[in-house]
Amino acid sequence: YSPYGHRPQGGPFSGFNGERADPVTGHYLLGNGYRAFNPVLMRFNSPDSLSPFGRGGLNAYAYCQGDPVNRSDPGGHIPGGAAVTRTAKSFVFEALPYELLENILKRVSPRDAAALSAATPQIGERVSKILNKPWVDINDPNALSTIEEHLGQTGTLRNDDFYRAQFEHVVKSIHEGINGKIDRVDLQTQSILNDVAGSIGSSELQATRALERAKRFQSAAPDKLVIITRQMAEYRRLHNHWNALINLEADTGRRVAEIRSVLNPP
């Protein structure tokens, strides 16, 4: 291997991901030409559209966060690989000295600072401490209550762009969590209906009719009735859970609207 960033004479040589260098520029075109990597400058010629500081992290101009041995970046976006899968979004910022992180935060918008704060609880606490802003853990099930408490303590947060952006990350996390649960229950209930009625995409009415048929022919197939009865009981339990999630989604939506009206007064 050649040193990182060194472009030896001759060639053509394969790049980090097996690409051939462009014969005119000497750059490596990653992601089907999406981004060109300049091995002399050791950086991309254009920023990662996922940065700053979303899924692209510090990959904005760097190649796989400066470690082409342990990481790969075939598409010119966020680096991937076994060494990064657990911490691709956060390990760099968690290890940054306080002064460097403070310097970064001085140069990004409140919205980007909030996106960085939402990466992990560790980063969130550090960012909030540097900015002297209340921190809200987007994964906390009581995050909306925390925000309501913060807003009740001081009126200054109502005009704070960082706190507004932080609130929107909380809302996104909550909605994704509830919608994910609803989708899983949908799949489970539909699977039961399909199994009971014997066809894909079956309705509750079709499954109920199958249960009625099993009752009529109980003497001929008693085991089938037991199985279907158990399945329909589980279906009703899941359906009740689904209704509870829908109500939770509606209640959460109302709370979010109320908080948003405080943070974005007319």
pLDDT at position 237 is 96
pLDDT at position 86 is 39
**pLDDT interval class at 90 (50, 70, 90):** low
pLDDT at position 87 is 45
pLDDT at position 100 is 78
CA atoms within 13 A on the CB side of 246: 8
- Over residues 136-180, the pLDDT tens digits come to 999 899 999 999 999 988 788 888 999 999 999 999 999 999 999
**pLDDT interval class at 75 (50, 70, 90):** low
* Cβ count near 9 (within 10 Å): 4
- Over residues 188-200, the pLDDT tens digits come to 999 999 999 999 9
- Over residues 205-242, the pLDDT tens digits come to 999 999 999 998 888 888 989 999 999 999 999 999 99
Percentage above 70 pLDDT, the chain = 73
**Average of per-residue pLDDT values in the chain:** 81
Residue 141 to residue 177: CA distance in whole angstroms: 10
Residue 88 has pLDDT above 60, yes or no: no
In the chain, what are the domain boundaries?
1-86, 162-263
pLDDT at position 91 is 52
**pLDDT interval class at 84 (50, 70, 90):** very low
- Over residues 31-53, the pLDDT tens digits come to 666 778 777 776 777 777 665 55
What predicted TM-score, i.e. pTM, was given to this entire model? 0.64
